[in-house]
Structure 1
Amino acid sequence: MNDNHRSALIAGLRALADFLDANPAIPVPRSVYALHFPHGATDAEMCAEVDQIAELLDAPINQEFGHYGASIRFGPVEYKAVAVLAARRAQYEADRSYEGCIQPDPIPDQNAAQAA
């Protein structure tokens, strides 16, 4: 990530906070997530990057659902570095291979049922 992108992201987050502060009628989400996904060819490379970030965050490593990550929270705002490991990516692709093959039964039109 270059310094211009970093500066632009930080400026955008501050601008959003200022905008929401100045416009209390606009609803805000319950939480905000800033996610960083390491770029790497192997699980080991991505995990090594997450390990480095975890050290900077002084945060433990969390491994669940085929993800390897570390995070820090600021109230309802979370920064998380997460590597999606190869086995999880393969499972996701396998699951997606069925997309469009299975169709649910149609849901009855509730408006028509109420009119009857």
Structure 2
Amino acid sequence: MTDDRTALVHGLIQMAVFLQANHEVPAPHGVTVHHFIPRADDDQMRAQIDHLAALLGSDIDAGGGHYGTSRLFGPVEYRAVAILADARATYAAQDSYRGCVTPDTVKET
């Protein structure tokens, strides 16, 4: 295992042990661990997700400019996602307006 992978696995185990031993600490109903495919050509990114889906035994979820797959372990989800070029371009276009529009303030009564 790589150092990052080992650190992640150990961190997940440590958190689980901590939450099990400290019932007064609130815990979420579920958690998702995301793996984002590095930016590449859309076909290459889809191929990586297809490969992961085969390893996970999971279906492909394609929608909203994302191409992904996931597997549930009870309330814990492992999700791999590729953000495709059109979705990245749309986000960049929308984000280009950030800070350019200032809404009027509304006085509370």
TM-score (norm 2): 0.91
**Alpha-carbon RMSD:** 1.4
1:47-66 map, 5 Å? 47-66=46-65
Deviations 1:73-93 (A, max 9, x none): 122211011100000000000
User: What secondary structure does 1:13 align onto?
Assistant: helix
Read off the aligned partner of 1:89 and give its amino acid letter: R
Counterpart Cα distance in 2 of 1:35 and 1:56: 16
* Residues in 1 aligned to 2:46 and 2:84: alpha-carbon distance in whole angstroms: 9
Report the Cα distance in structure 2 between the residues aligned to 1:86 and 1:18, rounded to whole angstroms. Answer: 40
Unaligned runs of 5+ in 2: none
Provide the residue aligned with 1:30 in structure 2.
29
5+ residue gaps, structure 1, are none
| TM-score, length basis structure 1 | 0.86
Asked if 1:99 is matched to 2:109, the reply is no
Quote the offset at 1:46 in angstroms.
1.1
In the alignment, structure 1 residue 18 sits paired with structure 2 residue 8 = no
Of 80-89 and 35-44, deviating more is 35-44
Counterpart of 2:5 in structure 1: which amino acid?
R
1:20-78 Cα offsets, whole Å, 9 max, x none, are 11111111123211111112421111111111100011101010110000001122211
**Rg larger for:** 1
Aligned residues: 109
Over the matched positions of the two proteins, sequence identity in percent amounts to 46
